[in-house]
Amino acid sequence: MNRNSAPRIGVHTSIAGGLPNAIARAQGFGCDCIQIFARNPRGWAARALTSQEIREFRDAQERAEIWPLVIHSVYLINLCAQDPVLLARSRAVFREEIERGLALGADYLVVHPGSSGVAPVDIGIALSVDSVREAVRGVDLKGAVTNAGEAGCRNALTILIENTAGQGSAIGSSFDQIAGLLAGLDDLPVEVCLDTAHTFAAGYDISTEAGLRSTIRSIDRSFGFDRIKVIHCNDSKVTVGGRVDRHEHIGLGCIGAGAFRRLTHNLKFRRVPFILETPVDKERNEAWNVETLRELSRASE
């Protein structure tokens, strides 16, 4: 992307009625990029994708010129679970997500690093690193999937670790913790998805000009801004440091419209795709949030 061009903006879009429908919905919302779940996000089991629906989805995306394609891993995955049964299931399902992402031609696969329970953070980080390594064993993330059959397609897939709000025992709320995860996976294509609402809730005050500058310095001192490949762009229902994950419509939460105008004008952020995961209610939907963010990106600073 040209550093001086408008940012690419998209939303997390439903796959109800079939994967190709997500592309049509994204077009209707005015999206340049898209994020989807590739399966039911709240269950362990998933039906197999047919070769026909994979082809139809990839053809629809190509025709729409919507990119990148981001897949968000299912919510049940806990890469640093202390319970061995949950940990084994999480690793197996994350492996399935990787294979699905490759088959669908996804550019990025987002995953939360997990919750470590009563274990110390450093133990959680080490276990998350081991889980990612276990999940990718035997998989060529540049395109070849072991035993993928007809679904195997050659494209590169990058795993993105998403920062968290720090609720409960979730790891990854501090940039130093994200840096620790990346350091343990430095030989793999693993980068960062930065969520604005999580960043704010974790205590990084991006709502002010000075706070944004401080946050950028913290990123550069830890894992480095170039590691951020996708931004989950969400306002927050909770105040700074609230450590709860509650998304709000763009400009209507505690982060505020001015902050999103600064974000979309800042060259460090502007070159990264923005994916919205904002609420849908009677007054405002996905299209409203996309257009609001576009207007802020066009507004004078």
3-class secondary structure, 74: coil
Percentage of the chain with pLDDT > 70? 94
Does the structure show a pLDDT above 60 at 152? Answer: no
- Is 247 considered catalytic here? yes
- Is 265 considered catalytic here? no
- Say what the pLDDT of residue 148 is: 39
Catalytic residue among 25, 39, 72, 95: 72
Catalytic residue among 42, 186, 187, 283: 42
- Say what the pLDDT of residue 143 is: 67
Catalytic residue among 277, 291, 294, 295: 277
- Say what the pLDDT of residue 151 is: 43
Does the structure show a pLDDT above 90 at 63? Answer: yes
Please state which of the four CATH numbers 3.40.50.880, 3.40.50.620, 3.40.50.720, 3.20.20.150 is assigned to the domain occupying 9-298.
3.20.20.150
Residue type, 97: E
Does the structure show a pLDDT above 70 at 3? Answer: no
- Is 277 considered catalytic here? yes
Domain chopping of the chain, boundaries: 9-298
Helix (H) or strand (E) holding 275: strand 274-276
Q: What is the pLDDT of residues 182-217, one digit of tens each?
A: 999 999 999 999 999 999 999 999 999 999 999 999
Catalytic residue among 96, 99, 191, 195: 195
Buried b (16+ CB within 10 A) or exposed e, 228-263: bbbbbbbbbbbebebbebbbbbbbbbbbbbebbbbb
* Mean pLDDT value across residues 265-283: 96
Q: Of 254, 199, 200, which Cα lies nearest the Cα of 228?
A: 199
- Is 249 considered catalytic here? no
- Is 232 considered catalytic here? yes
- Is 195 considered catalytic here? yes
Q: Of 106, 97, 92, which Cα lies nearest the Cα of 54?
A: 106
Q: How confident is the model at residue 301 (pLDDT cuts 50, 70, 90)?
A: low
- Is 12 considered catalytic here? no
Catalytic residue among 25, 58, 247, 262: 247
Distance CA(146)–CA(153), nearest Å, equals 11
* Mean pLDDT value across residues 241-268: 97
- Is 55 considered catalytic here? no
Q: Is the pTM of this model over 0.85?
A: yes
CB 39 within 8 A of CB 77: no
